[in-house]
Chain A
Amino acid sequence: MSKNTQLFTEEQLDFIREMMNIGAGNAATALQQLLQCPVDLIIPQVHVLPAAQVASILDNPASLVACVRMGMVGDIDGAMFFIVPEESKGKLLSIAEKAQPGLSKLAGQKPEDETSAVVETGNILGGVYLTAIHDFCGLNIYHTVPVLAIDMIQPLLDEALIKTSLQIQTTILIENEFVIEEHHIRTLLLIIPSSESVKPMIDALGQAKKAYGSV
């Protein structure tokens, strides 16, 4: 086991996973409202891992993705990335367009910019995960205005990972799979707390565990 995950006890790791499962449930509900159709959720994979290992678990550093970056501020600061692989992006956009014509081309956007639905989805999902953390741990975390970029996955993440990867640094990576109208839509959410935020997070987990008892 790496140094990083030893920062957390096995029980705390379970707690984080549980918290993120709740987040995923909230995410499915939120997507259902946005897309106005049933959204099924496949149990998410939650990884708590050092920043340096994130690059190594990406299958292909050059795979094309849409990525929404949001800063985190509040009791925990850092950055969040909502990532949709290219093949899921197309499906997501076509479902979004059916549900809310115009969502994929919001007013004020250039006509060729069809990616507002991705930003909006990132915005909503980022928010519901932070709400899950708040509900469990009482930590108030807000995210800043989302910024979208479409490129290869590793370049999009490298700056955020590099800054932290050489320190012992915890990241939370959530692999979600939503089933919408028989389409499987895969998304990733990567939460990178700043190194100063790891201790408040551990403290809050300890407090939460007392409140909830063993999970």
Chain B
Amino acid sequence: MAQCNITIKMGEGAVNTAPQIISSQGIGSCVVVTIYDPRRKIGGMAHIMLPGSNSVNGRGSPYHYADTAIVTLLGKLYSRGALLQDIVAKMIGGAQMFICSNGSGPGIGKQNVSSIRQILQREQIPLSGEEVGGSYGRNVEFYLDSGKVIIKTAGKKEDVEL
């Protein structure tokens, strides 16, 4: 059977099972979170834009914000049979693309990363890998047969595997 892959855009999320691949392109200050149940080979990905739904009056899709995105993703994973005791998360992104000299607090990338870290802790989901920060964009592929995450960047840097 032909493999059916899913590509999600900024502010979107998806949940599926092996052997599918979920991918997302062009991650800058956004953060992609993958949540995976290795025993049941069920996984989900969200391309998160902002740290919290109270930051801009909570408008838009739940996948826009770290807090609502992770809760939504978990709900979908559980309804497909994933179990809290088995799931692990990874996060990718949170870059600051332009290095500006005028320090006006942490960029949105950093805020996203720290917010997601807190939410995962609160939900008791172990973070099994991360590739965050820096000043470069990333493309992510999430392999649901293995839980492997491959990160590609635009420059000459080699692919990173989580």
Contact = CB atoms under 8 A, between A and B. Distances in A.
Interface of A: 55-56, 60-62, 64, 69, 147, 149-159, 162-163, 165-167
A151 B136 contact: yes
B66 to A, nearest CB: 12
Contacts of B26: 61-62, 152-155, 158
Contact of B28 (A56, A147, A155, A167): A155
B10 A159 contact: no
B87 interface: no
Given A61-B9, A147-B98, A156 B30 contact: no
Interface residues of B, number: 31
14 contacts: A55-B9, A62-B139, A64-B154, A149-B98, A151-B155, A154-B26, A154-B137, A155-B97, A158-B26, A158-B28, A159-B107, A162-B108, A166-B56, A167-B56
Chain B contact residues: helix, strand, loop or mixed: loop
Interface of B: 9-10, 25-30, 49-50, 56-57, 59-60, 64, 95-100, 107-109, 135-139, 154-155
Nearest to A167: B56
Contact of B98 (A69, A162, A165): A69
A167 to B, nearest CB: 7
Contacts of B107: 159
A147 B60 contact: no
A121 to B, nearest CB: 18
A162 B97 CA distance: 13
A147 B99 contact: yes
A155 B139 CA distance: 10
A163 B108 contact: yes
B52 to A, nearest CB: 12
A147 B97 CA distance: 10
Nearest to B136: A151
Contact of B97 (A55, A62, A149): A149
